[in-house]
Amino acid sequence: MLLKTDERRRITIPPDSGIKPGDAVEMEVLPDGRIMLVPMLVIPRHQAWAWTPECRQAVADSLTDPRPSIVIETPGEARKLAKRWAVED
């Protein structure tokens, strides 16, 4: 597809590219002069900790935990469970 820049060096990206207005795009100029646009998902800095490989692995591991879920309805049940967690791995 041939695109032409305007007087401000802007181009219009066609709608069927999958890039919508307001999307973040990283531009990389390759050594041979080609330009590559890569759609990016911007994560706020205060949420970046959740996307570390270690955190993502911990979440994946927790989803495969065979133990049944526990519903806590009283403060006494919460204290009893907290004591159990104190000795679990």
Q: What is the pLDDT of residues 26-79, one digit of tens each?
A: 999 999 999 999 999 888 999 988 889 999 899 888 888 888 888 899 999 999
pTM, to two decimals: 0.47
Angstrom distance (rounded) from CA 76 to CA 64? 28
Answer yes or no: is pLDDT of 24 > 70. yes
Q: How far out from the chain centre does Cα 85 lie?
A: 30
Classify each residue of 23-33 as buried b or exposed e, where b means 16 or more C-beta atoms within 10 Å of its C-beta: eeeeeeeeeee
The CA distance from 55 to 50, in Å, is: 6
pLDDT number for residue 89:
53
Of 84 and 79, the structure prediction assigns the larger pLDDT to: 79
What pLDDT band is residue 8 in, cutting at 50, 70 and 90?
very high
Q: Is the pLDDT of residue 25 over 70?
A: yes
